[in-house]
Amino acid sequence: MNIKVNGKTETIKEKSLAIAGLLKFSKVENPEMVSVQRNGAFVNKENFDTTYLEDGDEIDFIYFMGGGAHQRTVMKGEGL
């Protein structure tokens, strides 16, 4: 089956693959920290094992990053 993962076409040889398997196949580190969209709809994490991919699916892995205030570097009294 052919699917798109983050915009890149991937050929999957397995006839049956759930999202949890795709995360392993894609070597995603910390899959518990990733949200997944399938054809534009978010998939609940509790359904990763039971949501199976179909030919032509478009999958996006969404990584959320922590943020905060950016600290400026100051040299000789001037901000860079």
Tens of pLDDT, residues 41-57: 999 999 999 999 999 99
CA–CA gap between residue 33 and residue 63 (Å, rounded): 7
Identify the residue with better confidence: 79 or 43.
Answer: 43
Q: Please say whether the beta carbons of 30 and 1 come within 8 A.
A: no
Mean pLDDT of the chain: 88
CATH superfamily of 2-64: Beta-grasp domain (3.10.20.30)
Residue 25 CB-density burial (10 A; 0-12 exposed, 13-18 middle, 19+ buried) = middle
pTM for the predicted model, two decimal places: 0.77
Instruction: Write the pLDDT tens digit of every residue in 55-77.
Output: 999 999 998 877 666 555 555 55
Q: Where are the chain's structural domains?
A: 2-64
